[in-house]
Structure 1
Amino acid sequence: MALAAFSRLPVTVNLPLLLQALAGVEEDRWKGHFNTAYYSGDWSGVALISAADALTELSPGRGRPLPRAPWLEDERWRQALRDWPLDIVSARLLRLGPGGRIHEHRDYDLGGPDADLRLHVPLLSPPDVDFWLDGQIIPMKAGECWFLDLARPHRVANRSDRVRVHLVLDCRPGPWLERQIADGLISTPIAGVEQNDLACFQRRVEADPHLARALQSLQDLDAFIESALALGAEQGFHFTREELCAAMRTGRRQWSDQWKT
């Protein structure tokens, strides 16, 4: 499935329960992140679920997902996520302290066609934390759930005097999760981009392989335009032939190149 760089999922986060569970985590549970060259300051984590063969509880692995002590000992983590039908292979808390920085890098293990999908659920999220992904600041707030394609370049700077804590979930791809990501693209705020119906439909096509294939199969330009208008209307997006042609002429979102080649 081809996915956009990020999406705010239209799901309800039980933030009060998650914050209660977070408050129950003892300080000695927090361990420094294993990628020591990637950051400065305090970047630490608590493993909730991780691979049985991982070198450390925070490290990646290929073994079966193994619930760790905080997950087993506090049922509030499971309760908070019980309404999300996810196949979770890794769950951890990641904390970035005041003044901490995560240097630009890529998580290449998330870049394959069958790679896990990473979700970030901000629990403590001061406004002066900049999370850059592929050149765009992602405006994540506490109580939201975001898909992030972290195989792309990303970095973080905590410019505040408070800690930032995210619940990070690595999940196997599945129909429910992929639909939430696709639906979230429509409402995800992007600074400086007008969210008209055409822009929203373009982003839906980016996330939905069935729509993309339907357009890619059309070699005739008029047929392509008529199909895009019809498919857009079916999805609830209404734009004119003139708007579509103008977008194609200016190359916005690379319509003709991306979906007709």
Structure 2
Amino acid sequence: MSLPAYARLPVSFDVALLQGLLDQLPDEAWSAHFNTGDYQGEWRGVALIAPPAAVTPLAPPQRDEAVAATGWLLRFPAWQAVLARIEAPLRSARLLLLAPGSRILEHQDPDLGQPDGDVRLHIPLRTDPAVEFLLDGEAVPMAPGECWMLDLSRPHAVNNDSAISRVHLVLDVARNEWLMDAIAQGLADTPSARPGRGAAAFEQLRTLIHADPALVMRLGALVAPEAFTTELLRLALEHGLVLDAHDVARARRRGKQAWLQQWRA
């Protein structure tokens, strides 16, 4: 079975219990994420299952690398009952926190796209409607206590525009019959993703620009990509649209180059 882009598994968790366990962890348990080039702001986590010889605390295992409970899982063993709800071999278990106003920039995790590779599961513990998890430019509607499979070999990003820290329990799981059946069963009841706020704003801006031939010509005269992006963002702000340079870059990668070129024709 090939993986869908996302699926909500028929497994749910007690949110109050999860948040209570989360609040027991001391500040020193949290380490900065090692992918410093992939985020802005504060992204940190606690490893519960990891390779014993990992170079950094949050590093996922390499293929066939042995994993074990970390000191934090041994110190707070109540997490074991939570992890046991997933009836497949756990290759990694991490609590990942994205602070208010922070972003995980769009990137891909190609190892997760291998036909026999690990599968990434996300269980939101604490989140907010203003947190946007984008997968292929669409916002996946994950709610606290739910369990989602996400194919993160595809482009993905996260924006935390809320006033709270978003925290997910993130699991890398080896494929087995239970897991693949759960994904297949969950697909029938999985809510659809919606266009991300940036993508929706981008399309609104595009419509506004194409309605003004003079503006199309002015934009077409901007040869430097930086100047072009700066002017797009100024126009977005002028029309009350929430858009940033990452949204513009994402639109380019998602096949919008054709209409961008129209402005320079």
TM-score under structure 1 normalisation?
0.71
Aligned AA for 2:17?
Answer: L
- 1:157 match: secondary structure: strand
Residues in 1 aligned to 2:85 and 2:191: alpha-carbon distance in whole angstroms: 25
Residues in 2 aligned to 1:81 and 1:61: alpha-carbon distance in whole angstroms: 17
Residues in 2 aligned to 1:104 and 1:84: alpha-carbon distance in whole angstroms: 28
Deviation per CA, 1:27-52, whole angstroms, max 9, x where unpaired? 11111100000000010011101112
Q: How many residues were matched structurally?
A: 193
Deviation per CA, 1:148-188, whole angstroms, max 9, x where unpaired? 00000000000011100000000000100111111111111
Within 5 Å, give how 1:18-57 maps onto structure 2. 18-57=18-57
Runs of 4+, deviation exceeding 3 Å: none
Deviation per CA, 1:39-83, whole angstroms, max 9, x where unpaired? 000100111011123211201233211211121111211112323
Residues in 1 aligned to 2:66 and 2:190: alpha-carbon distance in whole angstroms: 33
Give the fraction of aligned pairs with identical amino acids, expressed as a percent: 47
* Structure 1 residue 191, shift from structure 2 partner: 4.8
Q: Which residue of 1 aligns with 2:163?
A: 161
Aligned AA for 2:32?
Answer: G
Moved more, 5-14 or 147-156: 5-14
Q: Which residue of 2 aligns with 1:58?
A: 58
Structure 2's unaligned 5+ residue stretches are 195-265
* Structure 1 residue 89, shift from structure 2 partner: 0.8
CA contact under 8 A between 2:47 and 2:93: conserved in structure 1? yes
Q: Which residue of 2 aligns with 1:147?
A: 149
- 1:9 match: secondary structure: strand
Residues in 2 aligned to 1:5 and 1:117: alpha-carbon distance in whole angstroms: 11
Deviation per CA, 1:213-254, whole angstroms, max 9, x where unpaired? xxxxxxxxxxxxxxxxxxxxxxxxxxxxxxxxxxxxxxxxxx
Aligned AA for 1:100?
Answer: S
- 1:127 match: secondary structure: coil
Within 5 Å, give how 1:86-235 maps onto structure 2. 86-191=88-193
Aligned AA for 1:135?
Answer: G
Cα pair distance change 1:56/1:132, threshold 3 Å: same
Aligned AA for 2:25?
Answer: V
Residues in 1 aligned to 2:193 and 2:95: alpha-carbon distance in whole angstroms: 28
Q: Which residue of 2 aligns with 1:85?
A: 87
Structure 1's unaligned 5+ residue stretches are 193-261
Query: Is the counterpart of residue 3 in structure 1 residue 3 in structure 2?
Result: yes
* Structure 1 residue 14, shift from structure 2 partner: 2.8
